[in-house]
Amino acid sequence: MKIVYIAPFLPHPMDSGAKFRIHSLVEGLAQFAEVHLVVLSDPVPAEHLSSYPRQHTTTFFPAPAESRIQKLKRYLLGAVSPFGTILGKHMPSGRLQHIQALLDQIQPDHLILGDTYISRLFQHLRFPTGRITIDTHNVESVLMGRISADKTSRAQKLRYRYLAWEARRLERDFSRVSQVLAVSEQDATVYRQQGLRRVFVVPNVVPIEQYTHLKPGDPRKLVYTAWYGYPPNEEAALRIISLSHRALKQGLQHQVSLVGKEPTQAMQEAARGADHIRITGAVPSVLPDLEAAGIFFAPLFSGSGTKLKLIEALAAGRLVITTPIGAEGLDLVHGKHVLVGNTESELLDLLRSALHDPQRYATLQNTGKQHVMQHFSQDNVNSRLQSLFLEGNHA
């Protein structure tokens, strides 16, 4: 069996949830099929290309450089563009023909479009077998709606409201493909409520064996790992800084590490002069910072899908304090696997309790770890993909 997976990112280095997902699906598919990965992305840095383990045939189609004027034009004309706002960046003149020629050459049995915005390609490509899957990382219309609601700038609200509208248009067309993959039953339910019938769950996973050996961390150290160029993560980081200031004023001694690439100016300004807050920027691996901390603090009030960062933290045996949005889609129970607060005040109370009496939550950390080991391993992905593709349950 031949499968072409068209992805919005090169899954290397694995420094974001989307990259983890692409990697796990490609690895799972490769257990029973010949996989050709097609990457539609911004230009990949040379050091990433040189260190990328080319276990699967990979074709790159980098997006051309874009000026601010060109970006503004793309957004303004997105509604009438044949490729839409996001995919339009990656479809310069002749790109569609190059992708079609590649498909004609490979003649795959199945085509997977690895993102909601990439899904628009199925309307333009000739694919005689008709077996097309859309792999979604979130319900994008829900995600963009939440981000819009959380923004204070009118311009930003309008931008994300428009992207939510565009995503809903794309999601309505999902009924025209063979099947849709969702990251959780919660996301699958949203799609089914939109009238889609062939929706199947393939969970997000991490290489659990990399985390389970980590030693217990310092119960007075908090960590959050993320890509801060993504608005929900920046907003979570700003809340962490604010709540940390409040906790310190109440006499709760602790340290905070905000780990990950592209920390924003707003984060730097909010943490200025705070010796107990450390902002690392990009790191080769999050494991040392994850091991050093006893608490993973994730006050997420926007976002969608399932959060790979929480799976990582639970696999590492950290105490996770988060929100309903942070925990959604992972079947986590407050007080059994994680601590969940609905408001900033509740999160501060949970943090206070954890800092005062860390031993109180030792059992919770173990049950959280066992939960992700049972439900979010690569073996789960492999068996699910085999059922959907090799055994013909997608037909």
Domain positions in the chain: 2-205+377-390, 208-375
Question: Cα dist. 145→9, 138, 157, 395 in Å?
Answer: 23, 12, 9, 33
**Residue 37 burial (C-beta neighbours within 10 Å; 0-12, 13-18, 19+):** buried
In this prediction, residue 357 carries a pLDDT of 87
Mean pLDDT of 360-367: 88
Per the CATH hierarchy, to which homologous superfamily does domain 208-375 belong? Answer: Glycogen Phosphorylase B; (3.40.50.2000)
Amino acid at 17: G
Neighbours of 175 (CB within 10 A): 13
Tell me the fold of 2-205+377-390. Rossmann fold (3.40.50)
Is a pLDDT exceeding 90 seen at residue 220?
A: yes
Residues 6+ apart with CB under 8 A from 117: 8, 84, 85, 86, 87, 140, 167, 170
In this prediction, residue 372 carries a pLDDT of 93
Query: In DSSP terms, which residues pair with 41 in a beta bridge?
Result: 62
For the chain, the 3-state helix, strand and coil shares in percent, each to the nearest 5, are 45, 15, 35
Q: Are 84 and 78 in contact (CB under 8 A)?
A: yes
Percent of the chain with pLDDT over 70: 98
Q: What phi and psi values does residue 245 have, to the nearest 5 degrees?
A: -60, -45
Amino acid at 117: Y
First to last CA, the chain: 15
The whole-chain average pLDDT of the chain stands at: 91
CA 83 – CA 61 distance, rounded (Å) = 15
Residues 6+ apart with CB under 8 A from 86: 78, 117, 163, 166
Strands of the chain, DSSP E? 2-7, 34-41, 57-62, 110-113, 132-135, 179-182, 199-201, 218-225, 255-259, 277-281, 293-298, 319-322, 339-340
Amino acid at 37: L
pLDDT digits (tens, 9 = 90+) for 133-145: 999 998 999 989 9
Query: In DSSP terms, which residues pair with 321 in a beta bridge?
Result: 297, 339
Torsion (CA) 231, 236, 241, 244 in degrees, nearest 10: 180
Q: Are 136 and 170 in contact (CB under 8 A)?
A: no
Q: Are 6 and 60 in contact (CB under 8 A)?
A: no
Mean pLDDT of 140-167: 88
Task: Tell me if 2-205+377-390 shares its fold with 208-375.
Answer: yes
Is a pLDDT exceeding 80 seen at residue 306?
A: no
In this prediction, residue 149 carries a pLDDT of 86
pLDDT digits (tens, 9 = 90+) for 310-360: 999 999 999 999 999 999 989 999 999 999 999 999 999 999 999 988 888
Residue 392 confidence class, pLDDT cut points 50, 70, 90: low
Is a pLDDT exceeding 60 seen at residue 393?
A: no
In this prediction, residue 288 carries a pLDDT of 96
Q: Are 282 and 195 in contact (CB under 8 A)?
A: no
Is a pLDDT exceeding 70 seen at residue 74?
A: yes
Is a pLDDT exceeding 70 seen at residue 265?
A: yes
Q: What are the tokens at 336? A: 């059994």
Mean pLDDT of 55-79: 89
Query: In DSSP terms, which residues pair with 40 in a beta bridge?
Result: 61
Residues 6+ apart with CB under 8 A from 343: none
Residue 394 confidence class, pLDDT cut points 50, 70, 90: very low
Strands of 73-231, DSSP E? 110-113, 132-135, 179-182, 199-201, 218-225
Percent of the chain with pLDDT over 90: 72
Mean pLDDT of 12-26: 87
